[in-house]
Chain A
Amino acid sequence: MLAAMEMDWRALSQDRVVVGVVKTLIMLAIGVPAIRMASYLIAKNGGKRFSPQSAMLLRKTVTYGGAIMLFMLILDQLGFELTALLGAAGVVGLALGFASQTSVSNIISGIFLISEKPFSVGDVIQVGDKTGVVLSVDLLSVKMRTFDNKYVRVPNESLIKMDVVNITRFPIRRMDIIVGVAYKEDVKRVKAILLDIALKNQYCLDDPAPLIILNNFGDSALEFKYGLWVAKEDYLNLLSTITDEIKERFDAEGIEIPFPHLSLYSGSVTDPFPIRIVGGADPGAPPRGM
């Protein structure tokens, strides 16, 4: 009798394990494709309704959230006590928290960055000496691609502390160029020529009007500040064309672009520079090298 009951219990127990495993497999078979499908649909269609950054965040939330839920359901199905497990996880989490303060700081900084939205995916930002296109804004870090095609990961904690310049936030930008001309040139004529160059350039906006001011009396040149407005996507086109056009036009108009030079005087502009020959050279001998 006792033996028969023991046999029944074993059989029942084996059945429960088998049923649990089958249920787990079914959950995996449905859950994993469902999570991947949801992630794919958000990646494909999310960009139409949300910004790229929001779509990316939504996709990650769905993927990781779904994976965690599926994991917990499977543990429950396999007979694990979730309450005890979560309690243990809390203790472990506390220990890990102390050990990973930097990561926690990054996560909190990441939450601030995501909510404040100083930039989003696709913007060109400058952080320290790095400039590049934002690829992703994650909880721990921001990833960007520099223009020389380097992959840069900036921890969120650093971004919160540093000055971040969003270069492409507004649709138009002003490009400031310092143009130096010789002191002998007529300032009004130079300004008129610079304005004409700007108006003839196809990328330069004529409204807002170009800014042309004599900015500084430099060591070797009159320095003009030449501020040209341009649509942000045309910035490089303008930079590459306008400098060529300034040089060509100045050459054609006979306007001198001076190179840095240094004049030495011996105390007075008019007196010749004094030369004193030292040593025992024969005053009547011809100079060396002649």
Chain B
Amino acid sequence: METWEQINLEIGQCAMAQAGPMTLWVRRAENEWHVFSRREPCVTRGFSFQRCDNPPENAEWARWAAEIKTGDVRLVPAMPDRPVIVSPDVEVVIPRKCSALFLVGIPPWIRVEVGPEPRLVVFDSPSAMLANTWFGDQMQGTLCYSLRHAPQRSPDRLSAGRAICPVQFTNETDKDLKFEKLCLNTDGLGVYEGEGRLWTDTVELAFREGNRPCDATCAGQAPAMAGTVRKLCEPRNPGKKQIIGQSGLGTFTSILRHSGR
């Protein structure tokens, strides 16, 4: 996939990227970088990044005054800056002593980095605008993004403009679990490319008996189904793997409540 490869722009040259519903233009000027983006909500497509001769004439460029001598520019897919909430279309039961893999499609944020290391980030924005939602009660909780697309069991059922986050549920208890809603903190997830798709680290949620009913861990690697992968982006907050556990714990607490335990 050449989308994530570096392009070198001369002064006055422009490149165009497409990421799901978003189209993005980057232009190099004399000691400046210009960026412009727009979204078409109903468009679903994959990712591309190439040189472009004709940027839109009415573009409202964001200008970055940076005296960078090289014209290197590249796209980086990143995870959202807030947790995401995902719910299945219909209630899903995970039987006792069973395990199930769900694939969550997350629209990545697109970052534009220019110049040599350490690169300057001139754009960091979601490829698709997600609605806000709340995880918690009305007095305390977390502001999250709402993924209105249900998790799937096969990657083919997720649109090309989404990064695939594998979530492995393991029910080690003696009772069935209902999966109604999952709050996934994406801060600790890295992004990979493999088999022509974007993938994130695998999240493993193990449900057990006792006072600590849920263990949530980030595997730190893409799933085997992604094939040979290349890491494109580090987690936004690598130290926050524990927070994934807390979110997962809240989710499983919710599942516990709904399943009448």
**Cα A203 to Cα B141 with chains together (Å):** 17
- Flag if B134 contacts A203 (CB, 8 Å): no
B198 to chain A, nearest CB (A): 23
- Which residues of A lie under 8 Å from residue B1 when comparing CB positions? none
Q: Is the CB of B131 within 8 A of A204?
A: yes
Of A202, A229, A234, which one neighbours B129 at CB under 8 angstroms?
Answer: A202
Q: How large is the interface on A (under 10, 10 to 19, 20 to 34, 35 or more residues)?
A: 10 to 19
Contact residue among B129, B132, B146 (Cβ-Cβ distance under 8 Å from A231): B132
Stretch of A74-82, A205-213, A277-285 with 4 or more beta carbons under 8 angstroms from chain B: A205-213
Q: Is the CB of A171 within 8 A of B132?
A: no
A170 touches which of B132, B135, B138 (Cβ 8 Å):
B138
Q: A171-B143, A206-B146, A231-B143 are contacts. A199–B138 as well, Cβ < 8 Å?
A: no
Bound-state CA distance A208–B134 (Å) is 7
B131 touches A199 (CB 8 A): yes
Min CB distance, A172 to chain B, in Å?
Answer: 6
Complex interface: chain B residues within 8 A of A204 (CB) = 131-132
Q: Which residue of B lies closest to A233 (CB)?
A: B143
Q: Which residue of B lies closest to A207 (CB)?
A: B133
Q: Which residues of the partner chain A approach B134 to less than 8 Å between Cβ atoms? A: 172, 205, 207-208, 229, 231
Q: A171-B143, A231-B143 are in contact. Are A206 and B138 (CB under 8 A)?
A: no
CB distance from B7 to the nearest CB of A (A): 31
Residues of chain A within 8 A (CB-CB) of B130 are 202
User: By the criterion CB–CB under 8 Å, are B131 and A171 in contact?
Assistant: no
Collect the chain A residues with CB atoms within 8 Å of residue B58's CB. none
Residues facing B in A198-235 (CB within 8 A) are: 199-208, 229-231, 234
Q: Are B141 and A171 in contact (CB under 8 A)?
A: yes
Asked whether B141 lies within 8 Å of A205 as measured between CB atoms, the reply is: no
Knowing A202-B132, A234-B132, say if A208 contacts B138 (CB, 8 Å): yes
CB of B216, distance to nearest CB on chain A (Å): 21
- Chain B neighbourhood of A201, CB < 8 A: 131
Min CB distance B223 to A, Å, is: 29
B140 touches A (CB below 8 Å): yes
Contacts of B148 in A (CB 8 A): 206
* A205: B residues at CB distance < 8 A: 131-134
A231 closest partner in B (C-beta): B143
A207-B146 contact given A199-B131, A202-B132, A234-B132, CB 8 Å threshold? yes
Complex Cα–Cα for A205 and B146 (A) = 9
Of B85, B129, B139, B140, the contact of A207 (CB 8 Å cutoff): B85
A172 in contact with B138 given A204-B131, A234-B132 (CB within 8 Å) = yes
Q: Given the complex of chains A and B, what is the CA–CA distance between A231 and B82 in angstroms?
A: 13
Residues 78-108 (chain B) with a chain A CB within 8 angstroms:
85
CB distance from B20 to the nearest CB of A (A): 15
CB distance from A199 to the nearest CB of B (A): 7
Residues on B with C-beta less than 8 A from A229 are: 134
A residues less than 8 Å from B146 (CB atoms): 206-207
Q: Determine which residue in A171, A199, A231 has the highest number of CB atoms from chain B within 10 A of its CB, and name it.
A: A171
- How far is it, in angstroms, between the C-alpha of A203 and the C-alpha of B133 when the chains are bound? 9
What are 9 A-B contacts defined by CB distance under 8 Å?
A171-B139, A172-B134, A172-B143, A202-B132, A205-B131, A206-B133, A207-B133, A207-B134, A207-B146
User: Which residues in B have some Cβ–Cβ distance to A below 8 Å?
Assistant: 85, 129-135, 138-141, 143, 146, 148
Chain A positions within 8 Å of B, measured between CB atoms, are 170-172, 199-208, 229-231, 234
- A172-B143, A205-B131 known, 7 other contacts, Cβ within 8 Å: A170-B139, A172-B134, A172-B138, A172-B141, A202-B129, A204-B132, A206-B148
